[in-house]
Structure 1
């Protein structure tokens, strides 16, 4: 974004912020400071006012467009986004899994990258609602694969809803590996689909250890439905593009949380 050559009145600046949010999913305070040549305090005031008017949602480091909170790209579109970062996250996560573990594996492109590494482990029991993951493991590993039933989400290759939740409830697993569409310090982990959120929550309840696999582009974002907070997970694995501010906040505000940056 180029720096504006002339200062704007507050009302003009806030209008520009909203127009910028129409073109992209989120805005960050440092970027807005540079764009408008104003202080962080000024931008935070703008965002607080716009949030109170119900036209955007403030996050820890900026704001998101409320109209995009319910949007979710299909699995095919997600595969091309942050692919190298997702592979690094998966390469770290596979080290957390031991032979003969029972694991719950959430649907998602990052968890799919982890699934591709699971054939290196033996005697696993894997519970998943992701059809692509289930087929891959059936064809390439000796894992005992349990697929959660229920309606298929068109375009996402997974099951969701009350049937999947009910099937998950009796299981006790060693570790759960979850994905998330969005994370903010105010709203926690969130996803556009209520039905998908309920499956994630069931996996969290079933697990002795909960690991969240989320690339840095999901930070300071908010989706439609919150399914977990930082207090619900044991370890967060993300990539090294995470901002220094977010790293510091995670480390200082949640001392019991394990943070892995890869």
Structure 2
């Protein structure tokens, strides 16, 4: 994170100037904690919380427990190509944590998405498994790793998202039973559950959940505390959350709901009042 105070030779910032810098930080990183902002701007948590409240009222960001994230409409969705260049390091960190949950001999369902794809590459390189997926890019990994069994679900393709959806794929999933499902998400809220902007994709995810003995949700920090248009899983239906970073308060909330949380980094920070 940029240290704005040092960049200005210790010259104090005006409040509006600091708020503009906070928005820049949130947009650049996707999310930020109160503690990180306090360290960067050398002001108190109370000052940062007041700034975040003002910025939320102004529609510039969304406050979360212990921080803030970028504002996004519940029905908006970026294409797979656009997502491929977002939060790249976070996705790699999640994949490295996720591969530790996969054992040789597992039967797996892998959802569509750039984070799940990072995990898929590690799986075909390091594990002997059987994979079922609706992700066309994951399906193509069978050409690179011919020893891997990959079953591609049928259905209609969704332009811009390199996947199959629809009744055919849902019917195929209804006849399957696998050990583990690894799903992506656009939003994860402890009360609302996991969600996606597209209802059609949400129905596929529901079928994937139903076919798996254990459900893993791959979710970078920018998705936590966010709600998208269509819920595909209630909190109680998720067994494990794998994320790059999470606040201690958020982790405790999910653990209190019976979910195991695997995080590369747990951040301290005051809870939002």
TM-score norm. by structure 2 comes to: 0.73
Offset of 1:65 from its aligned partner?
Answer: 9.0
CA contact (8 A) 2:192 2:235 kept: no
Range with greater deviation from structure 2 (132-141 or 154-163): 132-141
> 1:47-86 counterparts in 2 under 5 A?
68-86=73-91
Corresponding residue for residue 244 of structure 1: 248
Name the CA distance, whole Å, in 1 between partners of 2:120 and 2:108.
Answer: 11
**Distance in 1 of aligned mates of 2:109 and 2:92:** 19
**CA contact under 8 A between 1:183 and 1:219: conserved in structure 2?**
yes
User: Residue 117 of structure 1: SS of its match in structure 2?
Assistant: helix
Q: 1:230 to 1:154 in 2, by over 3 A?
A: same
Number of matched residues?
A: 242
- Per the alignment, in what secondary structure is the counterpart of residue 199 of structure 1? helix
3-state secondary structure, aligned to 1:103: strand
* Cα 1:59–1:243 shift into 2, 3 Å: closer
Contact 1:182 1:190 (C-alpha < 8 Å) held by counterparts:
yes
Correspondence for 1:258 among 260, 266, 272: 260
**Mapping of residues 156-235 of structure 1, within 5 Å:** 156-235=161-240
TM-score, scaled to structure 1: 0.76
Unaligned runs of 5+ in 1: 8-15, 51-55
Cα distance in 2 for residues equivalent to 1:67 and 1:126: 32
Residues 24-173 of structure 1: matches in 2 within 5 Å? 68-119=73-124, 120-122=126-128, 124-173=129-178
Give me the whole-angstrom Cα distance separating, in 2, the residues matched to 1:28 and 1:73: 21
CA-CA distance at 1:173 after TM superposition:
0.3
Structure 2 gap ranges (5+): 6-11, 38-42, 265-273
Q: What is the Cα deviation at residue 162 of structure 1?
A: 2.0
